[in-house]
Amino acid sequence: MSDLVLGLMLYGVSLLTMAGIYSVLAIGLNIQWGYTGLFNAGIAGFFAVGAYVSAILTSSPSTSFIGGLDWPFPAGLLAAMVVAGAIGYLVGRLCIRLRADYLAIATIGVAEILRLILKNEIWATNGPRGISNIPRPFEDLSQPWSQLAFLAVVAFVVLIAYLLAERAGKSPWGRVMRSIRDNEAAAAAIGKDVVGFRLQGFVIGAALMGLGGALTAHFFKFIGPEATEPLLTTFLVWVMLIIGGSGNNRGAMLGALVVWTLWSATELLTSQLPPDWAVRATFLRIFLIGLGLQIVLQRYSKGLLPERPPNSRTDDMVPSVDPAQEKAPPAE
Amino acid sequence: MIEFINFYLIPGLVLGCMYALGAIGVSMLFGILRFAHFAHGDVITLGAYFALLFVTTLGFPVLLALPVAMVLTAIVSIGLDRAFYKPFRNSPTIYLVIASFGVALMVRSLVQLAWGVKVESYAAGTFSKPIIFFDTLRIADKHMWIAGLTIVVVVALHYFLSRSKLGKAMRAMADEPDLAQVSGIPTEKVVRATWVIGGGLAATAGVFLGMDSQLHTNMGWDLLLPIFAAAILGGIGSPYGAIAGGLVIGMAEELSSYPWIGDAPLLSPGYKTGVAFALMVALLIWRPSGLFRGRTFT
């Protein structure tokens, strides 16, 4: 295989792997925001917790951070989900009653506190230098196969997450979630435990964000506090979900693929520019992503794949009120 | 004791002034438009860099560049409102919150595009020599300017809100938006005035922060959470509460690393900013109406 073909192939595989990891994050956010209507602006925090937990448990012993227990990869992923979910439970217990933008402020605050801890507790996390040499499954295979095998692992995880989220969304549980999102008072009036259901949605979403973080740590074989910058996690995942279509898991995955492809392809283009311009072009990319979000928000607020309420049989009889449409800004 | 005042109390008060200036804007915007303006931090950054533009190209002294930066930032704020927030006036506030996230990113990336990411400063050495009182009390003259101008701005704002017709309309709209509208208050004019005040004060906070330390493109974003904390502490929607909230949060951050017990700092300085975040989360949970029992928005 010629070098060029191999290079292109590796680029494509890495792009798909990242899109897959972002799909997990976007599905997690979809459960929190799309299903339940919880504005979590602290995705980076749960992402970081998952990444560090899996890194610490699966790495070999080291003097620069705690752990190094040589756990197998799946156990690391599972532990990442459990710990991120547990922190989600604690945060949720305290904050879940807050109204939307207060919840956003509180979750950002929690995420920033988590980031400060990761940066400052050098004995546990190796501080700003981060943890390197995190094992990646199948890394001993030869060039394209190792990357392809990891892509398959990620694809498998995405598939499981998608099927479970989809199943949950169509189940009675999912319908309760949507009813709480669209009319909290009515859901409470028919006897649903609103706080309990919202908490469940928050914890499941947080666990998936931890899973995404763990996969990222294994993919790059490195995790440092910079990787948990709000820009690359919290913000990008929000853009993906909004553009893809909040409330729709396939939309979340499509959004992840489209936005990540744009993000990474434009990076490939701008890296060809002279260094000074390349740095500046990065900011132009961020600006365009922000502008894209505004355009989608104002013109196509339902996203590429709009939410389809489950149980379409009743929709034929009763004129359906699409919640996304109802919330959409009036066309001017 | 004198060390406490020089190295903890005065820096805390100065930081508190900047938080207060940002928090007034956030609080008033919340009162009028009912949403948390997540782009406020980056508007602060923009204000600081506007002043830098006049300092570096035209050789303005910082204090002369300040009013120019205030005007420019106010104009940009109105423009941002027109383009990105106005379309959502009648939508659920969450659209405004998401849009303001996007605006935050756009403003910051434009600042980075225009000025790069190097750390900048207003002409170094302009403000350096501390003024010494009673042999030991040292106050840097830049700190005197920051505190003094903050007082001037706050007093002017107080007169505007309590005496002028527009200011009264603004308070009426924050208290009872529906009543204000039916009684013929021009809501869009009030909204514009709020953006002018919010943007102008944000620029002031940014310029002060740049005077106190340096300019970098994340300076405003780093300020955003303490500012939210201050606005919530003071009771969101209340500009006077925001001033008190700003001072309390600024002091809490600086005083948290004072060796209150024993010789070691009470809290490692690395966690200084965490104090504001923790205070803010705690307030949101247990006292969302703020310390002074203001209103809560549901």
DSSP symbols for chain B: -HHHIIIIIHHHHHHHHHHHHHHHHHHHHHHHH-S--TTHHHHHHHHHHHHHHHHHHS---HHHHHHHHHHHHHHHHHHHIIIIIGGGTTS-HHHHHHHHHHHHHHHHHHHHHHH-SS-B-SSTTSS-PEEEETTTEEEEHHHHHHHHHHHHHHHHHHHHHHHSHHHHHHHHHHH-HHHHHHTT--HHHHHHHHHHHHHHHHHHHHHHHHHHS-B-TTHHHHHHHHHHHHHHHT-TT-HHHHHHHHHHHHHHHHHTTS--SSSS-SS-GGGHHHHHHHHHHHHHHH-TTTTTT-----
Chain B environment of A99 (Cβ under 8 Å): 297-298
Can you name the residues that pair with A223 across neighbouring β-strands? A131
> Which pair of tokens denotes residue A57?
């448990």
A56-82 per-position pLDDT tens digit:
998 877 777 777 777 888 899 999 999
State how far the Cα of A201 lies from the Cα of A36, in Å rounded to an integer.
Answer: 6
Whether B112 has its CB under 8 Å from any CB of chain A: the answer is yes
State how far the Cα of A102 lies from the Cα of A67, in Å rounded to an integer.
Answer: 36
Chain A environment of B113 (Cβ under 8 Å): 280, 283-284, 287
Taking residues B205-220, what's their average pLDDT? 88
Measured in residues, chain A has a length of 332
This prediction has a pTM of 0.85
Q: Is the pLDDT of residue B295 over 70?
A: no
Reported as a pLDDT band with limits 50, 70 and 90, residue A326 is very low
Taking residues A206-217, what's their average pLDDT? 94
Give B3→chain A minimum CA distance, Å: 26
More confident residue, B5 or B87: B87
Reported as a pLDDT band with limits 50, 70 and 90, residue A208 is very high
Do A279 and B90 make contact, defined as CB atoms within 8 angstroms? no
**Residue B131, φ and ψ in degrees, nearest 5:** -95, 135
A123-148 per-position pLDDT tens digit:
778 777 888 878 888 878 887 888 89
Taking residues B189-208, what's their average pLDDT? 93
Whether B115 has its CB under 8 Å from any CB of chain A: the answer is no
**Residue A177, φ and ψ in degrees, nearest 5:** -55, -50
More confident residue, A309 or B49: B49
Whether A287 has its CB under 8 Å from any CB of chain B: the answer is yes
Window A:234-273, CB contacts with B under 8 Å: 235, 238-239, 242
Most confidently predicted of A280-289, B131-140, B288-297: A280-289
Do A120 and B271 make contact, defined as CB atoms within 8 angstroms? yes
Which pLDDT score is estimated for A31? 94
Task: Please list, in sequence order, all residues whose beta carbon lies within 8 angstroms of the beta carbon of residue B261, skipping any fewer than 6 positions away.
Answer: none
A287-318 per-position pLDDT tens digit:
888 888 888 888 887 888 888 776 555 444 44
Whether B88 has its CB under 8 Å from any CB of chain A: the answer is yes
A220-233 per-position pLDDT tens digit:
888 888 777 777 78
Do B103 and A329 make contact, defined as CB atoms within 8 angstroms? no
Reported as a pLDDT band with limits 50, 70 and 90, residue A320 is very low
Secondary structure (3-state) at A222: strand
A268-281 per-position pLDDT tens digit:
777 777 777 777 78
More confident residue, B76 or A302: B76
Whether B280 has its CB under 8 Å from any CB of chain A: the answer is yes
| Chain A interface test: which of B101, B103, B224, B249 (most A C-beta within 10 Å) | B101
